[in-house]
Structure 1
Amino acid sequence: MSDPARHVTVDRDKETGVAVVTLDRPDKHNAITLGMARRLSEIWRGFRYEDEVRAIVVTGAGGRAFCTGVDRTAVAGLPQPASPYTIDDPLIAIGPKANDLWKPVIAAVEGMACGGAFYLLGEAEFLVAGEGAEFFDPHVTYGMVSAFETIHMAQKMPFGEVARMALTGTAERISARRAYETGLVSELTARGGALAAAREAAAVVAASPTEAVQGTVRALWSAKEAARAQALAHAPHLVTLGNLPPERQAGLFTRRSGAHRLR
């Protein structure tokens, strides 16, 4: 059995106070297994007790992908409640805010970031991306409702941009340049430069008094917290009512090509 700790690594720099959390499953585009999901939750909650960690960078290994969401083979056959008003979402607690962590988190994105990756990106304070980064949401293409993902990204992107991304599915991908132009990405680097730039920004943040930094993070999130919480409360039944049955989803995965248009 695969060891989830091996696929999510943490590097702590005591001098700068910056920790780097890396999804380390590059052969699978850093797709998240159930074990990795549990490990991420443990890491975020653990950081609450590590005073020496004052800022965090989250990234993906390999350069081809930040993360492509949940590993479908890992959740195949996962039982779900019969009620349309609830769902056991394996990614529900993979982000820092879902684990009550209010230390600043910066995402460093190279390659693909799609679907379930938005649970992490949506709970980061800001994003740094390399020129080769691409953002897309494949859910509707495969007969699935994009609910949690769109709610998370609606905090980061203009409404029209997140709507187009969600509704065009795999047909379009948002380039790093376009993401920077619309505000999803705060800094655009040369290909392969996102992690270094994110670490540098995190070190600047970590150098300020931690109480002031965390208070500012909490204040920023309070500006949208009520609307976000209300929207997320609707997500479970939107997913359970709108998703195609698993066997029909599997058929769409088999038939659909990977062709896409970049914008």
Structure 2
Amino acid sequence: MPDSKSDVDLEFSTLLYEERDGVAWVTLNRPERHNAFDLTMAEEFHRLWTTLRHRDSVRCVVLTGSGDKAFCTGIDRDAQVPQPSSPFMVDDPGVALGPKTADLWKPVIAAVNGMACGGAFYLLGECEFLIAAEHATFFDPHVSYGMVMAYEAVHLAQRMPHGELARLALLGTAERMTARRAYEIGFVSEVVPDNAALLTAAEHAARTIAECQPSAIEGTVRAIWAARELAKGQALGLAPHLVQLGNISAERQAELFAARPKGGGWRAR
């Protein structure tokens, strides 16, 4: 029996997991289904996020997909999802996919390596930022198949302009947003030439984050999401508590300031 939740064995049937230098590398591993998620993957994602809450060796997460064709194409069309008989209750396995839903405030970077559509936005909507390979594309197929794009729209409304979201949602499978266009509207923070460069860029960002004081990083993540989800007054009311909880001592801050690189050490983006 494991001694604590941090000792849980992170082995999965639909995800690949690797941990090094404070960074957890998580890969959706159903390339034969374009990394579409099924009920097993949804359960494994929720188990992963809740376990990482207790795993102090992990300070940042990189999330990507197997292969070079798809990051994730939403729910597997063959997945059978039993529904309650009441119209007032819906079982949606997608709601268990995201890290914030599991109360994980360690930063998650998405490295988008191909198509991302439909239920992929449950995941992307709860990541800190996205880096994309040049060939990555984004679209949503719901309306093309007579379905309402609802949960995905709520996630994306926080991350892209209204008109861009409306176009992506309403044109369905007839149009795909390129990585370059996603960068232009601020949905993607960086575009790189290929998957090799994608992993390099993600590793640079993740290792930089992992080298920082965890409480400062997690408090900052919490503040960013509070600003996004709460009214301004509510978020500002939370800010002093996050500062008090996350700041290291003044003495330690001075040590880090004195040790900072002189005359450079930064990367232009």
TM value normalised by structure 1: 0.81
Q: Which moved more, 1:126-135 or 1:197-206?
A: 197-206
SS in 2 for 1:57: strand
Picking from 122, 126, 130, the partner of 1:127 is 130
Give the aligned partner of residue 34 of structure 1.
Answer: 39
Give the aligned partner of residue 145 of structure 1.
Answer: 148
**Kept after mapping to 1: 8 A contact 2:34/2:73:** yes
SS in 2 for 1:12: strand
The code of the aligned residue for 2:209 comes to V
**Kept after mapping to 1: 8 A contact 2:132/2:191:** yes
Picking from 111, 127, 131, the partner of 1:108 is 111
Within a 5 Å distance, the mapping from 1:134-213 to structure 2 comes to 134-192=137-195, 193-213=197-217
Higher Cα Rg, which structure:
2
Q: What does the per-residue CA deviation read over 1:186-243, in whole Å, with 9 as the maximum and x for residues that have no partner?
A: 011012122221121011111110000000000000112248xxxxxxxxxxxxxxxx
RMSD: 1.3
**Kept after mapping to 2: 8 A contact 1:109/1:195:** no
**Kept after mapping to 1: 8 A contact 2:14/2:40:** no
Once the two structures are aligned, what percentage of the paired residues are identical?
A: 57
Q: What does the per-residue CA deviation read over 1:14-67, in whole Å, with 9 as the maximum and x for residues that have no partner?
A: xx2111110011111001110111001000110011101000011000010000
**Kept after mapping to 1: 8 A contact 2:14/2:44:** no
**Following the alignment from structure 1 to structure 2, what is the Cα–Cα distance between the partners of residues 196 and 117?**
22
The structure, 1 or 2, with the larger RCO (C-alpha pairs under 8 Å, 6+ apart) is 1
Within a 5 Å distance, the mapping from 1:59-138 to structure 2 comes to 59-75=64-80, 78-138=81-141
SS in 2 for 1:5: coil
**Following the alignment from structure 1 to structure 2, what is the Cα–Cα distance between the partners of residues 208 and 226?**
26
Q: What does the per-residue CA deviation read over 1:79-136, in whole Å, with 9 as the maximum and x for residues that have no partner?
A: 2223333210011111100100000000000110000000000000000000000000
Task: Report how many aligned residue pairs link the two structures.
Answer: 220
**Following the alignment from structure 2 to structure 1, what is the Cα–Cα distance between the partners of residues 116 and 199?**
15
Q: Which moved more, 1:89-98 or 1:4-13?
A: 4-13
TM value normalised by structure 2: 0.79
Structure 1 residue ranges without an equivalent (≥5):
228-263
**Kept after mapping to 1: 8 A contact 2:118/2:142:** yes
2:15 equivalent to 1:8: yes
